A and B are shown apart, each in its own frame.
Chain A
Amino acid sequence: MWGTYLVSHPSMEGLRRLLRFGGVNYVEFLHSLDDLADRVRLAVSDLTLPILELRELSAMEYQLCCSPGLPGFSSVMVGILRAMADDYGALVMLSHEGQQQDSDVISIMLVESAFAEGRHFDLGARNG
C-alpha cells in the first residue's frame, strides 16, 4: 500500500519524521492532520494537498474527511494512518466509509493508544 510505504520504508524516514512532528501521541497526531495541508504548503509552497478534517465522535472514535481534488488520496491516507499507528504504538481499526458530500470518509477506531512501544522519535536526530 502506497501510504504505508511512504511512512514505513527506510528511504522515506524523512516523511515519517515530519508526520511525527504532528504530536506526541496518536490522538495528537490525528488532530494535527487538520493542519497537514497548511504544513505541506509551508514546506513546498506550490504543493496543494486536499484539506483533511478530523471529527472526534468520542475518545475512541474518529472520522477523517478527505476533501476531493486528488484521486486516491484517501487510500494513501489509510495507509499512512495505519503505518503511523504502528509508529506511535497505537492499536487502531481503520475502514473506508465511502463518500459524504464529495468527501471520502475514513473511520478510525482507537482500541488502545499505548498498545505497543512504538518507535522512538528524537527531535534532534536530523541535524548532526
Chain B
Amino acid sequence: MTDTQELAGLLETLCPMYLLVDQNGCIQQAGPTLQKLRPELPLVGQGFLDVFELIRPRTVTTVPALMSMAGAKLHLKFHDEPRTTLKGLVAPLARSGGAVINLSFGISILDAVRDYALTSADFSGTDLAIELLYLVEAKSAAMEASRSLNLRFQGAMLAAEEQAYTDTLTGLKNRRAMDNELAHLISTRSTFALMHLDLDFFKSVNDRLGHAAGDFVLQQAARIMLEETRGEDTVARVGGDEFVIIFKDLTQGDTLESIADRLISRLTEPMMFQNQRCSISASIGTALSTQFQALKAADILHGADLALYQAKRDGRSCHRLYSTLTNARS
C-alpha cells in the first residue's frame, strides 16, 4: 500500500485532477481539484463509469473496455449537473490491475473556472490553464478596444462625409459647397452669374447602357465644365444630372451666351464608353446677381431654374438668360 500512497502523493502534486481506480473501476483516490468539482459527492468509493459518461469513444461502457483504452484520448462528461466536459487519459497499472486516469478541462475551462470558482492554486504550476485564461481575456480586451475604435472611425467618417464639399463621383463641388459659396458671394455683395445646367438624355444613357456608362458620362461632363470655366468659378454637381456654375464678377450676357454655347457644343459631342456611343446634350439657364434687388440665394437659383425650363421648352440643347424671359423682372 505504501507504493500506492507514494503514487497518490506524486500525482497530487503533478496532476491535481487525477483518479486512481482499481481493477473494478472503483475510485481509490481523487485529485483535490477534481474533488472540488463535486464538493457534495466524495469521489472515493464511487464507480468511475457511474460518475462519468464517455462521449468519445461511445462504445466504452464497461470497465474492461475502459482499461483497454490505454494511451488513447477520452472525451467524457459528468452524469449529473453541471455536465462539464473533460478530456482524459488512462494509464493502466500493471501490478495492481487498476489504472491512473488523468483528467483535464480542455476547452471547457472557461466555463469551469466560473462554475466551480477555481483559482490558480487549483492548477498544477506547469499547467497552461492560467495562460490560456489570460490570453482569452487579453484577446477579448484587444478586440473590444479595436471594435470601439472602429466605431469611432466610422462615426468620424460619416461626420466627415456629411461635412464634405466634394462630389465623390466627379470631383466637383457638391450642393453644400455651392450653397456656401453662394451665401458668401451674397454677403460680400459680389456680382456674379449663376448658370443652372441640366444634362439632356442622360437618363436614357443610364437606362440603355447601365450605371457605369452613366457615371462615365457624368465624369466627362464634369471635365468639360472645368475646362470651359476659369479656376475661380464654382462648378458644382447639385443633383443626379444637374450642375450649377457660378461665374464671379461676370455679368455680361453675350460672354455668358458664348460660354454656354461652347459648353453645349462640347457636351453634345458623342462620348465613347467601352465602344458604345453615349450621346447627351445640355440645357442651360442663367440668372445674374445684378437682376435682383435685395438678392437672396433662393431668388437667383429660382431665376436660373426658370430660364433652364424655358430652354427645355424651346427644344433643349440651348441656353436662356433669365433677363430675356417675357415675365422676368429687370
Contact = CB atoms under 8 A, between A and B. Distances in A.
A14 B121 contact: no
B133 A21 contact: yes
A17 B135 CA distance: 12
A122 interface: yes
Interface residues on B, range: 20 to 34
Contacts of B142: 43-44
Contacts of B130: 21, 123
A58 interface: no
Interface in B105-125: 110-115, 117-121
B137 A18 contact: yes
Nearest to A40: B138
Contacts of B139: 43
A109 to B, nearest CB: 26
Interface in A32-77: 39, 42-44
B138 A124 contact: no
Contact of A124 (B113, B134, B135, B144): B113
Given A14-B141, A43-B142, A123 B118 contact: yes
Contacts of B114: 123-125, 127-128
A24 interface: yes
A24 B120 CA distance: 7
A11 B134 CA distance: 19
B117 A122 contact: yes
B186 to A, nearest CB: 49
Contact of B134 (A21, A24, A44, A122): A21
B137 A14 contact: yes
Contacts of A126: 136-137, 140
Interface of A: 14-15, 17-18, 21, 24, 39, 42-44, 122-128
Interface of B: 110-115, 117-121, 130, 133-142, 144
The 6 closest A-B pairs by CB, nearest first: A124-B114, A43-B138, A124-B113, A21-B134, A123-B113, A14-B141
